[in-house]
Chain A
Amino acid sequence: MFEPKIVVFACNWCTYAAVDLAGTSRISYPPNVRVIRVMCSGRVDPQFVLEAFKNGADGVIVAGCHPPVDCHYTNGNIKALRRFTLFRRLLNDLGIEQERFRLEWISASEADKWVKVVSEMVEDVRKLGPFKPKLGVKEV
C-alpha cells in the first residue's frame, strides 16, 4: 500500500503539546507524519509548505491554537489563517490537490483531534496517490 509522507508544522504551545499528549496517553495513529516545531502557526511561511511539496511531501498540515483567542502570541493563528486562506486558493494553480494541504486548530488538550486529523489526512492522501507536480511546482 502507498504510504504517504506528511509534513506537519506545529505550533509549540497547542499542537506540539497535543502531539506530546497523544504520546503520553499512548494513543496510536498512522506513523506517516513528521512534525516540525515552530513557536507559532504565524511563523509558518507558505514558502515552507511549497518547499515540502517540492522535495517530495505528499501532504502538509499547518496546525496551531484555536482562533480567535487561544494563541499564545495573541493572534499569530489569525495571521496564519489569513495567509493560508490565500495560499489555499493558489493550490489548484500550482497543481496541488486541495486534500493535500490542511490548516488545523488543535489545542494542547486535543490529542484525540490530532489523531483524527492525521488519520483522515493519511487516508485522503492515500486515495490520491503520491504527489506528482502537474505544473511548475518543481520550479518554485
Chain B
Amino acid sequence: MSEEPRIGVYVCHCGLNIAATVDVKAVVEYAKSLPNVIISRDYVFMCSTPGQDLIRDDIKNYKLNRIVVAACSPSMHEPTFRATLESVNLNKYLLEMANIREHCSWVHSDKKVATEKAKDLVRMAVAKARLLEPLEEQEYVAQQSVLVLGGGVAGMRASLDLASWGFDVYLIEKSPTLGGRTALTGWLRHDRRGAEVVKAMIKEIARNGKIHVFTNSELIDLSGFPGNFAAKIKINPRYVNERCTLCGECELECPVEVLNEYEYGLNRRKAIYIPFRNSYPQFYVIDPRVCVKCGECVKACRYNAINLNEKEATLDLKVGAIIIATGYDPYRPVRGEYGYGLHENIVTLFQLERLLDPEGPTHGELIIGGKVPKSIAFILCVGSRGTTPNAKSYCSRMCCTSTLMNTIKIKERYPETDVFVFYKDITTYGNDESLYEEAGGKLVKFVKFEEVPVVDVGPEGLYIDVKEVTIQEDIRIPVDAVILSTGMVPRRDQSDMLSVTRASCSPDGFIREAHLKLRPVEAPSAGIYLAGAVAGPKNIIESIRMGSAAASKVATLLSQGKVKAEPLVARVNEERCSGCKVCVGVCPYRAISMIEVNGRSVAHVESALCMGCGTCSAACPSGAMQHLGFKDNQIVAQVVAVTGGGSV
C-alpha cells in the first residue's frame, strides 16, 4: 500500500434509534484503540449536513484517507457518505459502513450485549477499511431509449413523458391491447370513466413517432447495466393484421367460445375477438390458447387480414433503462367466501363496474341474475385487511372509494333500490371524502361490522347476517344481490418477468422499491424503475403519477448522455493467472475471455460486462481473480477481526 491508512470512525446515534440501545460513547472510545484509527467521534445524526461536515473537516484537518461510518444499513446511506468523501476529493470507495442499527440496536434490547456487538461490527469495518483501495468509476455512453413493460395507465404515462423529452420508447404489453385494468374500470369521478382516460392516452401514443408499441409481447431476456441494457422481446403472433376493418365477419363464423376475461367472465367471446371497444391496436386478435385452427375465420375475412400460420418473432433492443409497470390482478374470492360462486347474484366489484359501464355486457343496465335488484349489499375489504383466512393483510386502497362511486351511480339510475354498505372501516382519503357524504345524502345505508358478515345463501334468497357495531345487535338483512368489494393482489403471471428482470418482491408479492423514502420509484437493481400497482395497491391517479415519476427518474439517469458504472468489478492479476479458465466457465455474463499476454494465455475481464458478483473470484484457484471492493484479503480481514478477540 502506498500510504499508511489514516482512519476516521464516525458513530451515529440516529437520534435514539441507536443510542438508546448502544453505548455510543463506549464504541467511540473502543474505536480509538484500533490500529490506524486517527480519530473517532459520535454525532446525533451523521447523515445530516452538520454530521457530514464533521467528517469533511476531519478529512482535511487530520489527513484522513479511510472513513468508517457506524450507522444504518449501507443500502440506506452509503451513497450519502460516499458523496461526502467525494466532496473533499477523497475517493468515495475508501468508505466502509458498520450496520449498527438494522443489524444491532433495532434487534437487541440488552444494552451491554448490543454495545459489544457494535464494537465488533466497528472492528470488522476498520479491518476492511485498512485494506480498501481507491477505485475509479467507468463512463459509458447511455442509450437514449427506454423499455416500458406494461401498457396500462402507468406505463402509458411514463412512455408519453419519456417520448416528450426525446427518448425512444419501446412499450411492451403482454396482452393484445393497451389500456390495462383502467380500460375496464367504470366511473373514476362523476364526469370521467376509465375507458375515456385510456382512450385519450392511447390516441396520443398512437400518433407519437417516438413510442413503439408491441402488444402480445414479453421480455424474455435481459442483460447489461444502467445505460446499456440488451433486451430480447418475444412477439407472439396476433394472426390478424392491419388489413382488418373490424367488420366482424370472422367472429360470427368462429365456433370456439370462452368466458370473456375483459368482462370479468360476465359474458363469452370467440377465439377471434376484439378485447374492448377502444382497444389498441384496433384489429381483431386470435387467442391461440383456444383457437382450433379450423380456418372458418380465414374463409370469412374478405380482406385477407388473417394468417393462421403467423409465427412468433423476436426483437433485440438496446435500451438505457427499464420501467416495470405490469400492474395487478383483482383478488379472486375462493368458492364459498361470502357465498362467492354459490349464487349467481353474488359478484365482485370489478364485475359490477362492467355491468354499470355503457360499453359493458348489459350496456350499463344493472341486471344481475336476470333482473334489476331491488336491494344490494356491498361488502368491503374482501380479500384485504385479513378479513378472511384467505385475505391479504394490507388495505387495497381503492375499493372504498370505488364502492362509494358505484353506490352513487346506482342510486342515480335506480333511486328505488336499497343499497347497503357493510364495512369494517371506510377510507375515502383526499378529495374522495365528498363521495362518502354524497352517498350518505342519497340514503345509502352503512352497516359497520367487527366480525365479518355471513352471506347466507338460502333456497328463498340471499341474507346478510351481521352484528352491527354501533347498536351492538345481530341483524339479518334480505338482499337481491351481493357485491364483494375485492382488492388488489400481485399479478399471477409475474414470475417470468421477475426472473428475467431480477426484481424482488415484498412479503405481499408486490415488487419492492429500493428504498421507500430515498428511492421510491426504483427497483433494487440499478437502472430498473417501477410504476403503478406493480409496486403495491394504487388508484388510477396515483398510478399515473408514479408513471410520470418513474419517467423523470429515467431521464435523470440518461439525459447526460453517459452513465457511470460502479467499479466493483473483477480484475485479474495476470502474473498470478495460471490460464486454467475456471473463471470463464462460472461467469454468468460471459465477461471473461482468455487473452495472450507475453506469450501466455491469461484471463481478461471486460469491465463493461462484469456485473460484480464475484463468483469468479471465489472460483479462481490461483487467487489471481480479485473482486474489487470485496477482495480476498479484505473479506479475510473481516473474518479475522470478528473471530479473533472481541466478545459475543
Contacts and interface: CB of A to CB of B under 8 A. Distances in A.
B504 A70 contact: yes
A38 B614 contact: yes
Contacts of B499: 69-70
Contact of B504 (A3, A28, A36, A108): A108
Nearest to B116: A31
Contact of A56 (B121, B502, B643): B643
A43 B615 contact: yes
A30 to B, nearest CB: 9
Contacts, number: 145
A36 B104 CA distance: 14
A24 B106 contact: yes
Interface string B632-647: 1001101110111000
Interface in B70-94: 73-75
Interface stretch (A15-23, A88-96, A97-105, A132-140): A15-23
Interface in B104-163: 104, 106-110, 113-114, 117, 120-121, 124
B467 to A, nearest CB: 33
Nearest to B101: A23
A42 B615 CA distance: 5
B504 A26 contact: no
Interface stretch (B171-179, B505-513, B535-543): B505-513
Interface residues of B, number: 53
Interface SS of A by simple majority: loop
Given A31-B108, A109-B512, A40 B502 contact: no
B102 A75 contact: no
A103 B498 CA distance: 24
B44 interface: no
B612 interface: yes
A48 B639 contact: yes
Given A70-B504, A73-B613, A109-B505, A38 B643 contact: no
A104 B624 CA distance: 28
B114 A31 contact: yes
A26 B106 contact: yes
B524 A17 contact: yes
Interface string B598-635: 00000000000001111101110000000100101001
Interface in B503-545: 504-507, 512, 524-525
Interface residues on A, range: 35 or more
Nearest to A68: B499
A138 to B, nearest CB: 13
Contacts of B121: 34
Interface of B: 73-75, 99, 101-104, 106-110, 113-114, 117, 120-121, 124, 498-499, 502, 504-507, 512, 524-525, 568, 586, 588-589, 611-615, 617-619, 627, 630, 632, 635-636, 638-640, 642-644, 648
- Identify the 8 closest CB pairs spanning chains A and B, nearest first: A23-B102, A43-B614, A55-B643, A42-B615, A73-B613, A74-B588, A3-B648, A40-B613
Given A42-B614, A55-B643, 17 more contacts: A13-B504, A14-B504, A20-B75, A20-B102, A36-B124, A36-B642, A39-B614, A40-B615, A42-B613, A48-B639, A57-B639, A57-B643, A69-B499, A72-B502, A72-B525, A73-B588, A109-B506
Interface of A: 3-5, 7, 13-14, 16-17, 19-20, 22-24, 26-29, 31-32, 34-40, 42-45, 47-48, 51-52, 55-57, 69-76, 79, 83, 107-110
